[in-house]
């Protein structure tokens, strides 16, 4: 009887040990597979989509430059009511107020250059020489423009853009800021790199 009991104990020990080792091996084999779901640095540089949470972005605030999409910084601007109302009051100062140049997806070819009027999304590079423009949302005279209504200013060569990323006339930059393809995963999560006309 003692021999049978020892055999049973030994069998249980061997089965338990084998099960634990087998489970550990399965987890070890699965980790590289699960890790492959996350885009690599090379995939991100090639244009893999990135997600941005804007839940804490207050009106008048800029989020950016974000970690790059396709090696380019991304600006996300939440415009307030004053900024939105000023977009129509300043179009005679703009080179391409109707966004006729191919600088945005079709669903962003509007006065706001965005899916949602209050959220502007741009590649944060001046279309002149690729410098990074700075945001200035203050609606007051500036040394570079006495009629300033807020927008982006590139200190390198003096290019100016309004709060929809539309370029001023007579500045070095030839085009509006680029609007990347984007969509909304939720009300507060934007996916850069995936078109979302119906988002």
User: What pLDDT is attached to residue 22?
Assistant: 55
Tell me: do 121 and 167 sit in the same domain: yes
Q: What is the pLDDT of residues 150-190, one digit of tens each?
A: 899 998 888 999 999 999 999 999 999 999 999 999 999 99
Q: Output the CA torsion sign for 85, 86, 89, 95.
A: negative
Tell me: do 18 and 87 sit in the same domain: no
Distance CA 160, CA 143 (A): 12
Q: Which of helix, strand or coil describes residue 32?
A: helix
- Higher-scoring residue by pLDDT: 138, 42: 138
How many domains in the chain? 2
Bridge partners of 76, per DSSP, are 63, 121
Tell me: do 185 and 196 sit in the same domain: yes
User: What pLDDT is attached to residue 34?
Assistant: 42
- Beta sheet of 182-184, edge-to-edge order: 50-53, 189-192, 182-184
Q: Which domain holds residue 16?
A: 1-38
Segment 56-80 shows an average pLDDT of 88
Q: Which of helix, strand or coil describes residue 45?
A: helix
Tell me: do 34 and 45 sit in the same domain: no
Tell me: do 32 and 45 sit in the same domain: no
Q: Cis omega (within 30 of 0) on the bond before 65?
A: yes
pLDDT value at 46 more than 70: no
Tell me: do 8 and 105 sit in the same domain: no
Tell me: do 29 and 51 sit in the same domain: no
- Residues 6 or more apart in contact with residue 89 via CB below 8 angstroms: 149
Tell me: do 88 and 144 sit in the same domain: yes
Tell me: do 153 and 73 sit in the same domain: yes
Q: What is the pLDDT of residues 81-140, one digit of tens each?
A: 989 988 888 888 898 988 888 889 999 989 899 999 999 999 999 999 888 899 888 888
User: What pLDDT is attached to residue 86?
Assistant: 87
**CATH number of the CATH domain containing 119:** 2.102.10.10
Q: What is the pLDDT of residues 1-34, one digit of tens each?
A: 555 666 666 666 656 665 555 545 544 554 444 4
Tell me: do 16 and 112 sit in the same domain: no
Tell me: do 45 and 80 sit in the same domain: yes
Tell me: do 105 and 148 sit in the same domain: yes
The pLDDT-based confidence of 145 (bands split at 50, 70, 90) is confident
pLDDT value at 35 more than 50: no
Distance CA 126, CA 115 (A): 22
Q: What is the pLDDT of residues 107-117, one digit of tens each?
A: 998 989 999 99
User: What pLDDT is attached to residue 77?
Assistant: 94
């Amino acid at each position: 009887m003692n021999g049978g009991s020892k055999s049973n104990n030994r069998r249980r020990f061997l089965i338990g040990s084998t099960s634990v080792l087998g489970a550990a091996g399965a987890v070890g084999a699965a980790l590289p597979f699960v890790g492959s779901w996350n885009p690599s640095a090379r995939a991100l540089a090639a244009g893999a989509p990135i997600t941005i949470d804007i839940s804490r972005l207050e009106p008048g605030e800029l989020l950016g430059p974000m970690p790059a999409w396709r090696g380019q910084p991304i600006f996300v601007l939440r415009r307030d009511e004053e900024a939105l109302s000023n977009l129509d009051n300043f179009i005679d100062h703009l080179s391409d107020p109707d966004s006729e140049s191919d600088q945005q997806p079709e669903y962003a070819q509007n006065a706001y250059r965005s899916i949602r009027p209050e959220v502007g999304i741009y590649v944060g590079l001046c279309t002149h020489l690729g410098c990074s423009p700075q945001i200035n949302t203050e609606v007051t005279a500036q040394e570079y423009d006495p009629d300033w209504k807020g927008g982006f200013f590139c200190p390198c060569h003096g290019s100016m853009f309004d709060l929809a990323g539309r370029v001023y006339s007579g500045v070095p930059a030839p085009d509006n800021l680029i609007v990347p393809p984007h969509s909304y995963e939720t009300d507060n999560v934007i996916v850069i790199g995936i078109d979302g006309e119906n988002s």
